[in-house]
Amino acid sequence: MKTKGKVTGIIANLVIVEVDGPVSQNEICFVSLGEVKLMAEVIKITGSRAFIQVFESTRGLKTGNVVEFEGHMLEVSLGPGILSSIYDGLQNNLKTMDGVFLKRGEYTSPLNPDTEWNFKPLAKAGDTVKAGSYLGEVPENNLSHKIMLPFKFRGNYTVKSVADEGSYTVNHVIAVVVDEHGGEHDVTMVQKWAVKLPITCYKNKPRPFRIMETGVRIFDTFNPMAEGGTGFIPGPFGSGKTVLQHALAKQAEADVIIMAACGERANEVVEIFVEFPELNDPRTGRKLMERTIIVCNTSNMPVAAREASVYTAMTLGEYYRAMGLKTLLLADSTSRWAQALREMSNRLEELPGADAFPMDLSAVISNFYSRAGYVELENDKSGSVTFIGTVSPAGGNLKEPVTESTKKVARCFYALSQARADSKRYPAVDPVDSYSKYLEYPEIQEYLNETVEDRWHEKVAESKNIILRGKEAAEQINILGDDGVPLEYHDRFWKSELIDFIILQQDAFDKTDSSTPMERQKYMLNLVLEICRRSPEFENFEECASYYTDLINIMKQLNYSEYGSEKFMNYEKQILDKTGIKNNN
């Protein structure tokens, strides 16, 4: 018997329900409104009154309307067919919805029940399996999608039978397993999982020790993101958060990319719909859309579902991680999620914390970030969820609750600076304030020694120091004037400008410059450092400025040229001639 209830109060999308039986926190329920049923989640219970947040507009809802409780929390369906999908925050398939407008109470199936998948068994009768064990696999786009024993299954099971190789739909029983008490269970290709609970079917979660290449120089060279790591990008509006996130989604070295558009502009999601099916993934040669999942709950979509959307996206990431895949989760923006929490906390009349955010904001954020990570699975494979969230601080001021809470948990900090954005120095990541804690990990340093070059992290530190000294020199020049400082200050300033223009700045809209492979990044940093280590003699500061502007100009052309092409060699020669550096290649 399902618990039922009647609506007794309505404040925007917070609805108060008098219930006739047991209800649980975060339980899903449906509110009847004429012909349609609106999905909602229990967020507070006092006595026989349940407070529910409705995931849709409550316009026209009346007291006395019937509410039915489902007996489970918000769940997603996990199975083949998730890749390339476009979901809303509750995992409704947006592609299969009718009409131009979203209709209230219309819920669509996340997985197509009619698609047939080529199943190949991986387990056989008699095998002992547990949650997360691979029973079989189906090809999904270019990945091998593992069909696992559902994560909800506790303890050990014995496989009784597995379907033969062949084509089946997702709801077809592909295996029968027997539990320790002799009970038989059917397993299909779909399983359900509550989004608020982490999927923990892994052996252990070591510290990240590998770099996730992104092709963005200010990430890879300067502040590398680790595979299974966490990072965040705070920045005022107009500082290029979205362009940067899209660049990561296009270029990052991951098997699966999940983009959670959380309370942001709809047109930005449209950009992905339009571009990703056209663009190629340089690593596999397949279309980018094939490895991408979009969970989109844009700013005009119901606020309550915004909170669910980030959890839905994280759960999908954890699912693919359990298959031994590298997933990258990008959430834009976590501030909108926090605001959704604030709106609800406000309606519940909870005592507010800083800036009217709920008191437990910090705990909620750190819990969420901790779901990311690199894991070793029971079958000795490894998988990862790398998480990068953006933060939209009110007024661009980083001293606000969401930024501060995130800074405590995220290991990489990519601060976007208004000043850099204003002077069109994109990506506007501040080279002085930003950091990657991973660069200090001995295991990461070791990894860089092996994969890039011996003592690579020292070169990175050296170039960061040049930037810092250049900044100090620039301040002195501003205070004392061009003639008021020693010539060496100009030299220092221009060396930092050289690094800024050639390494840090990157044209996201240029075919070649937008993505730089690590090999080329290594070449560029070595070349730039080689120049910076020299101190040519200058007569005056104007000569110094003109020497470096010329150099910057040629090196920018170099960045725009295809690596190793004739054009590239030509520009390289001009640089070597001008600086007197000998060609070592």
Residues 88-117 that bind other proteins (CB under 8 A): 94-95, 97, 99-104
CB-CB contact of 65 with 4 (8 Å): no
Structure tokens at 537: 């003699």
Q: What binding mask, one character per residue, do residues 53-92 give for other proteins by CB under 8 A, x or -?
A: ----xxxxxxxx---------------------x------
Min dist. Cβ of residue 283 to other proteins (A): 25
Min dist. Cβ of residue 453 to other proteins (A): 30
Residues 536 to 555: which contact other proteins by CB under 8 A?
542, 549-550, 552-553
Residues 509 to 528: which contact other proteins by CB under 8 A?
509
Beta carbon nearer to other proteins, 549 or 579: 549
Structure tokens at 5: 């209830």
Residue 173 within binding range of other proteins, rule CB under 8 A:
no
Min dist. Cβ of residue 546 to other proteins (A): 9
Residues forming a β-bridge with 331: 260, 389
Beta carbon nearer to other proteins, 71 or 353: 353
**Degrees, nearest 5: CA angle 400-401-403:** 70
Min dist. Cβ of residue 271 to other proteins (A): 6
Beta carbon nearer to other proteins, 159 or 531: 531
Sole binder of other proteins in the list 35, 483, 537, 566 (CB under 8 A): 483
Q: What binding mask, one character per residue, do residues 561-580 give for other proteins by CB under 8 A, x or -?
A: --------------------
* Own/partner long-range contacts of 556-564 (Cβ < 8 Å, ≥24 apart): 556/501, 556/502, 559/502, 559/506, 559/507, 559/512, 559/513, 559/524, 560/507, 560/510, 560/512, 560/513, 561/512, 562/512, 563/512, 563/517, 563/519, 563/520, 563/523
Min dist. Cβ of residue 542 to other proteins (A): 6
Residue 126 within binding range of other proteins, rule CB under 8 A:
no
Strand residue runs (E) in 315-443? 326-332, 373-376, 382-391, 412-413, 435-436
Q: What binding mask, one character per residue, do residues 221-240 give for other proteins by CB under 8 A, x or -?
A: ---------------xxx--
CB-CB contact of 164 with 42 (8 Å): no
Sole binder of other proteins in the list 557, 569, 574, 578 (CB under 8 A): 557
Residue type, 13: N
Beta carbon nearer to other proteins, 39 or 86: 86
Count Cα neighbours of 122 within 13 Å in the Cβ-side half-sphere: 17
Residues 13 to 52: which contact other proteins by CB under 8 A?
16
Cα maximum dimension of the chain: 90
Cα–Cα distance measured from residue 8 to residue 476, given in angstroms and rounded to the nearest whole number: 68
Nearest Cα residue to 258 out of 179, 313, 326 = 313
Cα–Cα distance measured from residue 63 to residue 55, given in angstroms and rounded to the nearest whole number: 18
Cα–Cα distance measured from residue 299 to residue 293, given in angstroms and rounded to the nearest whole number: 19
Min dist. Cβ of residue 473 to other proteins (A): 16
Residues forming a β-bridge with 46: 49
Residues 382 to 441: which contact other proteins by CB under 8 A?
392, 394-397, 422-424
Residue 303 within binding range of other proteins, rule CB under 8 A:
yes
Beta carbon nearer to other proteins, 9 or 139: 9
Sole binder of other proteins in the list 321, 342, 492, 495 (CB under 8 A): 342
Cα–Cα distance measured from residue 85 to residue 341, given in angstroms and rounded to the nearest whole number: 27
Sole binder of other proteins in the list 211, 216, 288, 296 (CB under 8 A): 296
Beta carbon nearer to other proteins, 68 or 482: 482
CB-CB contact of 432 with 467 (8 Å): yes
Residues 146 to 165: which contact other proteins by CB under 8 A?
none
Beta carbon nearer to other proteins, 136 or 470: 470
- Residue span binding other proteins (CB under 8 A) among the ranges 129-137, 190-198, 263-271, 462-470: 263-271
Min dist. Cβ of residue 266 to other proteins (A): 5
Q: What are phi and psi of 301, to 5 degrees?
A: -85, 160
